[in-house]
């Protein structure tokens, strides 16, 4: 009988301790962080290799999922206070189809990780003339996103709405996806491929291939440091973005640390290249 009472007491203590450690702020959503991903040239690229088996076709358009896309969305969503959104200037139907077709390693589609998807109709027009991103902006306020708790990940910084520059995390210069750097030479002179998006050095190719990894490291450190009570999430990003994202397409000690520890074996050539910088 005493044994049963003891087990019951232990069970009661565990139940109570779980109740005590739960954050009341997290329960009512006050601490949620909104991470908003652009789609084109951020999580996918136009496919350039017709022989690539890992290509997604939506309405006659071919897409290649960027390196790290699946990993970082799965990893970020594991934080209890992170909400994932997508915001693309593409049509809503296309955006939804595409996100449903991209499956993560756990078998869930990106659509299943999403709190909401914003599309062309959600863009805010600020001018009659100019390029697409000069006329139309990604204004986060009408979408109900708290500017103190939201970061937009985008390859095109021009989409930032006036006054929301702090909420824009630019990925750095855009390039086409090439699985292998040597394949990029094949498209030089190909009129069907925008030449300005072809990496012409190994450093450019390597940074482009791994840009979401750099973003993940920054976001994850910002989330964890905030959880530890050290610094506000957005303040951490503003202060440290230049250290994490190689806008100059060169590698600091920070990148060497990340990549020397984590690159898979198949990228040993990359390791050697980094070490030579
Ligand atoms: Mg884009």
Which carries the bigger pLDDT value, residue 214 or residue 120? 120
CA distances from 126 to 30, 37, 122, 135 (A): 31, 21, 13, 5
Distance, CA 92 to ligand 1 centroid (Å)?
A: 15
79-138, pLDDT tens digit by residue? Answer: 999 999 999 999 999 999 999 999 998 999 999 999 999 999 999 999 999 999 999 999
In this structure, the strands spanning 55-58 and 168-170 are: unpaired
Distance, CA 175 to ligand 1 centroid (Å)?
A: 11
Distance, CA 71 to ligand 1 centroid (Å)?
A: 19
The rounded distance, in Å, linking the Cα atoms of 228 and 223 is: 9
Distance, CA 172 to ligand 1 centroid (Å)?
A: 11
Distance, CA 43 to ligand 1 centroid (Å)?
A: 8
Residue 194 has pLDDT above 90, yes or no: no
Residues near 87 by beta carbon (within 8 Å), at least 6 away in sequence: 36, 37, 38, 39, 117, 118, 119, 122, 138, 143, 152
* Ramachandran region, residue 249 (left: φ > 0; alpha: ψ -120 to 50; beta: rest): left
Residue 252 has pLDDT above 80, yes or no: no
Distance, CA 22 to ligand 1 centroid (Å)?
A: 38
Q: Which of 22-26, 123-127, 180-184 has the highest mean pLDDT?
A: 123-127
Distance, CA 154 to ligand 1 centroid (Å)?
A: 6
Distance, CA 38 to ligand 1 centroid (Å)?
A: 6
Tell me if 36 sits within 8 A of 140, measured CB to CB: yes
Average pLDDT over every residue of 13-34: 48
* Ramachandran region, residue 44 (left: φ > 0; alpha: ψ -120 to 50; beta: rest): beta
Distance, CA 186 to ligand 1 centroid (Å)?
A: 24
**Residues 153-158: contacts with CB within 8 Å, 24+ apart?**
153/35, 153/36, 153/37, 153/38, 153/42, 153/215, 154/38, 154/42, 155/38, 155/40, 155/41, 155/42, 156/38, 156/41, 158/131, 158/133, 158/134
Lowest mean pLDDT among 38-47, 60-69, 188-197, 254-263: 254-263
Distance, CA 78 to ligand 1 centroid (Å)?
A: 25
Tell me if 168 sits within 8 A of 133, measured CB to CB: no
Residue 22 has pLDDT above 70, yes or no: no
Distance, CA 255 to ligand 1 centroid (Å)?
A: 24
Q: Which two tokens stand for residue 49?
A: 């290799």
44-56, pLDDT tens digit by residue? Answer: 988 867 677 778 9
Distance, CA 135 to ligand 1 centroid (Å)?
A: 15
For the domain 32-171, what is the CATH superfamily, name and number? HAD superfamily/HAD-like (3.40.50.1000)
The mean of the pLDDT values for the chain is 83
Q: Which two tokens stand for residue 162?
A: 């006036």
pTM: 0.82
Q: Which two tokens stand for residue 53?
A: 């088996």
Residue 261 has pLDDT above 90, yes or no: no
């Amino acid at each position: 009988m005493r044994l049963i009472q003891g087990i019951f007491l232990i069970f009661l203590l565990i139940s109570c301790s779980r109740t005590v450690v739960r954050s009341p702020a997290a329960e009512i959503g006050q601490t949620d962080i909104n991470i908003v991903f652009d789609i084109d040239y951020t999580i996918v690229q136009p496919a350039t290799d017709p022989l690539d088996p890992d290509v997604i076709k939506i309405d006659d358009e071919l897409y290649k999922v960027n390196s790290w896309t699946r990993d970082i969305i799965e990893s970020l969503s594991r934080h209890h206070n992170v909400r994932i959104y997508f915001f693309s200037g593409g049509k809503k139907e296309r955006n939804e189809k595409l996100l449903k077709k991209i499956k993560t390693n756990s078998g869930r589609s990106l659509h299943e990780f999403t709190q909401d998807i914003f599309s062309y109709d959600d863009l805010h027009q600020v001018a009659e003339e100019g390029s697409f991103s000069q006329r139309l902006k990604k204004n986060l306020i009408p979408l109900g996103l708290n500017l103190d708790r939201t970061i937009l990940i985008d390859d095109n910084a021009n989409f930032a709405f006036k006054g929301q520059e702090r909420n824009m995390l630019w990925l750095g210069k855009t390039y086409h996806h090439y699985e292998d750097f040597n394949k990029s030479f094949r498209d030089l002179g190909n009129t069907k491929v925008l030449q300005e998006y072809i990496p012409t050095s190994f450093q450019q190719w390597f940074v482009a291939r791994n840009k979401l990894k750099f973003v993940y490291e920054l976001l994850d450190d910002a989330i964890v440091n905030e959880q530890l009570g050290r610094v506000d999430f957005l303040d951490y990003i503003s202060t440290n973005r230049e250290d994490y994202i190689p806008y100059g397409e060169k590698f600091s000690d920070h990148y060497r640390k990340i990549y020397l520890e984590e690159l898979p074996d198949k990228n040993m050539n990359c390791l050697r290249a980094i070490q030579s910088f």
